[in-house]
């Protein structure tokens, strides 16, 4: 066939001199290995890259989070139960966010006056921002309700300690003299305290109220609160900073049990600082919880980071063990086949038919071991079966390839053929499967602890599921308790899903866009 038939111009053809030889050009690029090629494909998936960064951030949070706060997992303080998230930086900047300030809605005038009374006695700002009024009807009676911002930390105010030792009482006075900070405040007269059940232990009522009804606040002729401090007797063993205007006029402690115990009113945030710096020496000063506190007054930040650390460690260990056991088991099945494969598959079928919940229940009630061990055994008992199935499938796919037959012909042993020639071709699928085991284990562990089937609140260990369970009851009143664990688990599951899809497409481009 002539060049004209192809409509190619003859000018494009060149004559070659006799004796000339043609050579292939040398490759100027470096050879690309399997993992490098997979990495290149993975980096082109922007969603997977973002997911990888999020996973890295969550892992970093789990690793360093418990070291970024001085609090411990089970270190709670009931006086600061349910306080809102607070960052000292945001609080100092006065941005109005992340400063521990919440909203007190539709409360009575008496409640507002009690908060203002705390401010008057301690000097701390409790009522924050403007106070708005609304008119409502209660039992066909028109009443005024007040809405305002409230500092959830400062509203604790004064606390009554009824059994303080004489040594601690004197040591606090020493601390006051050295720092110039008042911790102990005048004690109220027990005979003048309100008898209302709800207010019997409320040390912030330093003013006169109705004897049988704390909702009635009495004022003097100038409209000021009337103090009910115990008049000075000089028997209070007190020789330190006094309240402004006290010359002395009031006692600061009441002896009990023949002087072996003292009843004392303390400004709690200052007492909190004294106790942690002087007694415990644990580096904690004023209370400040980055993610707020739960119903027990425990720091949610350290609980969440510790729970995340536990979940990652458990999941990685389970995934690693399942990979090793499953790869060996599946390799033997797929390579030898026949009766060996048939027998081993039936063993896998029997184990996979056992419900995981039954395994956990039996281990929990018949083995006197930690629930962490129960979790590991239950996840491992059937977790390796999926990995074995993937490995078996890959070995059936590659064991009759030409390079395997050549290796067998040259006398290579079965073990060398299995793990030197066949297994490397299956590594991509196995890595993807192992990575996706991690979120599966974390989600299962979270679900079990959320439902209360597994308890991890002992021995300084907690779980994300436990935090979700504890925060469910306070979803409407204190949503911050459940928001942070929920955001963590949501980001984790979504990111691992995108990350796993990226790994699958990188290691096996033929499955791009497919769902395994």
State residue 368's pLDDT score.
Answer: 73
Beta strands in 153-287 (DSSP E): 158-164, 184-185, 209-210, 213-217, 254-256, 261-267
Among 41-55, 209-223, 258-272, 426-440, the least confident range: 209-223
* Residue where the block lists tokens 């119903």: 295
Provide mean pLDDT across the span 133-156: 90
Token output for 91: 């609080």
Q: Is the pLDDT of residue 516 over 50?
A: no
Instruction: Say how far apart CA 308 and CA 486 lie, in whole Å.
Output: 12
Q: Is the pLDDT of residue 198 over 60?
A: no
State residue 14's pLDDT score.
Answer: 73
Instruction: Say how far apart CA 498 and CA 55 lie, in whole Å.
Output: 10
Q: Confidence class of residue 157 from pLDDT cuts 50, 70 and 90?
A: very high
Q: Confidence class of residue 505 from pLDDT cuts 50, 70 and 90?
A: confident
Whether residue 463 contacts residue 445, with contact meaning beta carbons closer than 8 Å, is answered with: yes
- 429, with CB counted inside 10 A (0-12, 13-18, 19+), is buried
**H or E segment and range at residue 105:** strand 101-107
Share of the chain above pLDDT 70, in %: 92
Provide mean pLDDT across the span 393-410: 88
Cα Dmax for the chain? 127
Q: Is the pLDDT of residue 361 over 90?
A: no
State residue 515's pLDDT score.
Answer: 47
- Per-residue pLDDT tens over the stretch 323-332: 999 999 999 9
Of 460 and 61, the one with more pLDDT: 61
pTM, two decimals, is 0.86
Q: Is the pLDDT of residue 122 over 70?
A: yes
Whether residue 486 contacts residue 467, with contact meaning beta carbons closer than 8 Å, is answered with: no
Within the chain, all domains assigned CATH 1.10.3720.10 are found at 52-62+299-511
Beta strands in 351-457 (DSSP E): none
CATH superfamily of 52-62+299-511: MetI-like (1.10.3720.10)
Instruction: Say how far apart CA 456 and CA 450 lie, in whole Å.
Output: 10
Instruction: Say how far apart CA 227 and CA 158 lie, in whole Å.
Output: 14
- Per-residue pLDDT tens over the stretch 439-468: 999 999 998 888 888 887 766 678 899 899
- 381, with CB counted inside 10 A (0-12, 13-18, 19+), is middle
């Amino acid at each position: 066939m002539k060049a004209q038939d192809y409509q190619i111009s003859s000018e494009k053809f060149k004559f070659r001199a006799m004796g000339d030889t043609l050579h292939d050009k040398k490759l100027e690029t470096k050879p690309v290995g399997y993992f490098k090629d997979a990495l290149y494909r993975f980096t082109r998936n922007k969603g997977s890259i973002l997911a990888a960064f999020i996973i890295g951030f969550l892992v970093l949070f789990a690793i360093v989070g418990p070291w970024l706060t001085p609090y411990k997992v089970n270190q709670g303080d009931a006086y600061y139960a349910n306080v809102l998230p607070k960052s000292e930086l945001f609080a100092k900047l006065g941005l109005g966010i992340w400063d521990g300030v919440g909203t007190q809605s539709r409360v009575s005038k008496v409640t507002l006056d009690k908060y203002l009374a705390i401010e008057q006695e301690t000097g701390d700002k409790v009522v924050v921002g403007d106070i708005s009024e609304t008119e409502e009807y209660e039992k066909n009676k028109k009443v005024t309700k007040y809405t305002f911002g409230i500092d959830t930390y400062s509203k604790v105010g004064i606390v009554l300690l009824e059994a303080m030792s004489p040594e601690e009482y004197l040591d606090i006075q020493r601390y006051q003299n050295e720092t110039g900070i008042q911790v102990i405040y005048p004690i109220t007269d027990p005979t003048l305290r309100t008898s209302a059940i709800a207010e019997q232990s409320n040390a912030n009522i330093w003013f006169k109220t109705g004897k049988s009804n704390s909702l009635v606040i009495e004022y003097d002729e100038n409209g000021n609160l009337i103090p009910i401090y115990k008049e000075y007797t000089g028997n209070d063993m007190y020789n330190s900073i006094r309240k402004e205007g006290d010359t002395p006029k009031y006692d600061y402690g009441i002896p009990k049990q023949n002087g072996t115990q003292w009843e004392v009113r303390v400004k709690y945030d200052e007492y909190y600082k004294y106790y942690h710096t002087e007694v415990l020496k644990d580096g904690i000063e004023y209370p400040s919880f980055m993610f707020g506190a739960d119903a027990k007054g425990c720091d949610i930040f350290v609980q969440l980071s510790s729970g995340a650390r536990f979940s990652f460690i458990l999941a990685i260990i389970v995934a690693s063990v399942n990979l090793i056991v499953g790869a060996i088991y599946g390799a033997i099945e797929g390579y030898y086949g026949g009766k060996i494969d048939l027998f081993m598959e039936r063993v896998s079928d029997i184990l996979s038919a056992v419900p995981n919940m039954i395994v956990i229940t039996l281990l929990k009630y018949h083995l006197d071991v930690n629930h962490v061990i129960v979790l590991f055994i239950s996840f491992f008992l059937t977790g390796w079966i999926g990995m074995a199935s993937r490995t078996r499938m890959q070995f059936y796919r590659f064991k009759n390839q030409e390079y395997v037959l050549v290796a067998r012909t040259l006398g290579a042993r079965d073990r060398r053929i299995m793990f030197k020639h066949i297994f490397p071709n299956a590594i991509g699928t196995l890595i993807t499967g192992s990575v996706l085991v991690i979120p599966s284990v974390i989600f299962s562990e979270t679900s079990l602890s959320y439902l209360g089937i597994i308890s991890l609140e002992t021995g300084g260990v907690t779980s994300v599921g436990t935090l979700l369970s504890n925060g469910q009851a306070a979803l409407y009143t204190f949503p911050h308790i459940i928001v942070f664990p929920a955001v963590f688990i949501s980001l984790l599951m979504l990111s691992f899903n995108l990350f796993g899809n990226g790994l699958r497409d990188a290691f096996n481009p033929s499955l791009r866009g497919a769902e395994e």
